[in-house]
Amino acid sequence: MTHTSHAAFEHLRSQTIDSLNLRVEEYQHKVTGAQHIHLASDNPENVFLVALRTVPQDSRGVAHILEHTALCGSEKYPVRDPFFMMIRRSLNTFMNAFTSPDWTAYPFASQNRKDFDNLLDVYLDAVFFSRLDELDFAQEGHRLEFKEPDNPDSPLTFKGVVFNEMKGAMSSVPAQLWQSLCRYLFPTTTYHHNSGGDPEHIPDLTYEQLQQFYRTHYHPSNAIFMTYGDIPAAEHQAKFEAKALHRFKRLDDVIAVGEEKRYHAPIAVEEAYPLEEGEDPTHKTHVVMGWLLGNITDLDQTLESQLMTAVLLDNSASPLLHALETSDLGQAPSPLCGLDDSQYELAFGCGLEGCQLEKVPEVEQLILGTLERVAEEGVPQELIDSALHQLELQQREVGGDGFPYGLQLIMNSLPAATHRADPIALLDLDSALVKLREKVKDPDFIPSLVRRWLLDNPHRLRLTLRPDSQFTRRAQEAEQKRLADINAKLTDDDRQWIVQRAKALQERQVQKDDDSILPKVGLEDIPKTMAYVEGSRETLDPKNPASDPLRRYGAGTNGLVYEQVTCKLPDISEEEQPLLPLYCNALTEVGLGNLDYLEAQRWQASAVGGISASATVRGTTDDVQNIDAYFSLGSKALNRNAGAMNELLRATLTQPRFDEHNRLKELVSQMRARREQSITGNGHSLAMLAACAGMAPSARLTHRIGGLEGIAHLKRLDQALKDGESLKAYAAQLEGIHARLRVAPREFLLIGEPHQLDELRDTVQSHWPSEPPVADFRSFGLPAVHEPVREGWLTNTQVNFCAQAYPTVPSEHPDAAALTVLAGFLRNGYLHRTIREQGGAYGGGASQDNNIAAFRFFSYRDPRLADTLKDFEAAVDWLLSSEHEWQPLEEAILGVVSSLDKPASPAGEARQTYQAELFGRTREKRETFRNRVLGVTLADIQRVANEYLKPERASTAVVSHSGERAVLESLGLELREL
């Protein structure tokens, strides 16, 4: 690859990174000093990101609110909502914006060149020439409104999307832990503050302060442009210059994070978090210890910190994690265990949750005592080698299943670029890893790091976060007193101004913008066919057609091999079914054969990049009351470890030890802790699972094992396992499930570099001899289910998650395509405005789930409840009673096709194809569905809405808090408590 820069840019350097198959080029804009880092690759999925260094000095949320408001109209595109409008007019594979503690970034990705250019034009104008309308600030940030907006005598309330988003975000205990930890670990720098905004402080931010922050921070001199893909850097630079940079001069202000002031002695602090009234606080205290290490601009130091963290905490055999997991001082290791390397200074944390308040000093002593032992005795060389092995594997793996791969690489290098360090060094780790391997030959290397950075480091914090059942009440009372005090000081003119602004905002929210000024792609820009990864259909032994089936896929995996053993799920009783996720979790966490679980964990770390087990149950493509069910055991490894990976997989499937009862109990406690913590971040999905539980057998099972019902069962089980006999019975149940699974029919999946597939197949064959089928094997089954749901789930949250669902049709039915498009049409045309903009929820929308034949409405982090449920029904009325144009339908179709065609990593696309075809979603069926989507008409979506979305067919589920108990009861919902 060669580089040619635009005349406005100076080329600084280039470096080829063989392990990532790309060339990194670094440029600087000659006038403004803007940085451009280009990751040149032959990948047609091009990625753009512009990041601004944003360093707030308080917790008013200025950077976060600005991120939202900047996307609400710009100089060239003076429409109210260009960001969400472009999502609908695009074939993007990714569009978003992020606020971090020290940067704000605006990324997108697309495989379509026309679409990429369209999005680039809109993003550049939004970032550098934003209008920042005061009404947008009121909508997205915060505003005062009367509860009856046109009645100045009614009580005041705070509203705003970010205000409600952060109320929801700060309902999460891990989020509260992290913010409290940062508040004390960083006493003087920007990380001391909540960059997302603290709901108590967000109303203090003024519109003028927002504008001032924009002028100083959203300037090219403070910007980092990052691109990835097959578009040359010079072409990007020509657009940067023409559309934005030529209008700016260099800004002398240098925005940066300074060095943190260090403590001279460790400190201990105690804070509280809200607990539902009536809940037992005995074992609900969190204890976290935190240290500041060095800064990320030193690559060697960063890698050494990552290695030390991996040695201490990577798996259950790691000394510190082992101490935390096996301690009876708490329920599970803290979610904050690990190294944060996303900020200027590295932060190391560890601790326990589910503790008793009086045991806090013992938790601290447990941690320090474990570290002292490591410093005195050292660690086995195999732990260090395994940690290095994991670093190498992470460096080599081609990602792209969550984020686009190019965006992952960009995000990996962004922290260094933000702090004016070397972004290329964070991508090209090979040479640094070579140096690290030399250093670890010294047996005192890890002990010396533990002494220097942890034991002898006085900048150490012990944070205790204790439960307080009166916390929420006091916070609500403080907010109401604040509002009452404001109300008491309002003049008549003030009151009329609030009423008029509410009216102006409502008018702005419903106004019809001229969206023709925005660029777009149309149906004519969609590829005629969807991408397809071809796999072989063969047997493990080519000479024996009766041997186990094998599917092989050649892919650019950069020297990694992915393998999966898939078995038909055996018959499991209704009583055992809630144990399925626990069985899958335990299978990869217990001992194997003569090895205890610690030895098995060390084996995993040395041989593979993780091992996972899962059970998947889906309705068939033509009838969701009939199900298919499979169990999968999968792993990935460097090619040189393919043999070791197969030995490990076979031992895991044939020799797991369910006799390690204390280990099984620990695993249940840990899963309970993780699942409870997930509620406030995933409440909308949990509410939808509950609402759909009566519509299909697989939906009911998912709710019972992975939804709110599953969490409630997990809490009961965790309590029961404190009894020794119950623990033995639980172990016997797991053993029973495994005995049936062990003899299930199986097949194999292999993904690797094309030229290595034959050798890899031979490796698998040599490790997995054929076994005769079991004549009386009974596969998993579930009874049909058709029943409405009306439930309200009470938990520890400050906001609501609402869901309403209707039974519909599976993917093979001709109406499935129209229902899928209908969801996008309702979201774009009605729900986004009423639930997010007017209602103040962080998000809301609709979706058709063809796997369970259900259409779902949802809201996310929602201050409203009953009114949101009314909006779901009103959306259908709007659809059926209004005249609609073609363009919104085209936009909804584009959104569906974009999601269907979204690329994954090379290995991920092969896995997705295999999984789809395993459950009967053949290429032909998926192409048929895609073609039906392209042919959906306005008449189609109105017809299916009228036929399926009838009020009497609706099921409703809400995740809320005890303060909404009366409202939930008035809606006729059965109350359930978590």
pLDDT at 19 over 80: no
The per-residue pLDDT for 545 is 87
CA distance 461 to 452: 16
**First-last CA distance in the chain:** 57
CA distance 260 to 86: 41
Q: What are phi and psi of 343, to 5 degrees?
A: -115, 180
pLDDT at residue 3, as a whole number: 66
pTM, two decimals, is 0.91
- Residues β-bridged to residue 553: 751
The number of C-alpha atoms within 13 Å of 347 and in the hemisphere containing its C-beta is 25
- pLDDT band at residue 430 under the 50/70/90 scheme: confident
pLDDT category, 598, cuts 50, 70, 90? very high
Rg of the chain in Å (alpha carbons): 28
| 492/637 Cα distance (integer angstroms) | 71
CA-to-CA distance for 778 and 769, rounded, in angstroms?
22
pLDDT digits (tens, 9 = 90+) for 312-366: 999 999 999 999 999 999 999 999 999 999 899 999 999 999 999 999 999 999 9
Residue where the block lists tokens 């309902």: 171
Report CA-CA distances (Å) from 38 to 396, 490, 558, 926: 19, 54, 21, 36
Give me the count of residues in the chain. Answer: 978
Contact of 598 with 657, CB cutoff 8 Å: no
**pLDDT tens-place string over residues 460-514:** 999 999 999 989 889 889 999 999 999 999 999 999 999 999 999 999 888 888 8
- How would you write 583-614 as a 3-class SS string? HHHHHCCCCECCECHHHHHHHHHHHCCCEEEE
Read off the pLDDT of residues 892-947 as tens digits, 9 standing for 90 and up: 999 999 999 998 888 999 999 999 999 999 999 999 999 999 999 999 999 999 99
pLDDT tens, position by position, 645-694: 999 999 999 999 999 999 999 999 999 999 998 898 899 999 999 999 99
Domains defined along the chain, listed by start: 9-250+500-517 (3.30.830.10), 267-402+412-468 (3.30.830.10), 534-570+591-657+743-770 (3.30.830.10), 659-740 (no CATH), 790-977 (3.30.830.10)
3-state DSSP percent of the chain in helix, strand and coil, to 5: 50, 20, 35
Cα–Cα dist 673/684, whole Å: 19
Torsion of Cα atoms, 615 then 616 then 617 then 619, to 10°: -170
The one-letter amino acid code at 454 reads L
Q: For residue range 405-425, list pLDDT tens digits in order.
A: 899 999 989 999 999 988 888
C-alpha to C-alpha distances, 434 to 141, 300, 303, nearest whole angstrom: 48, 11, 11
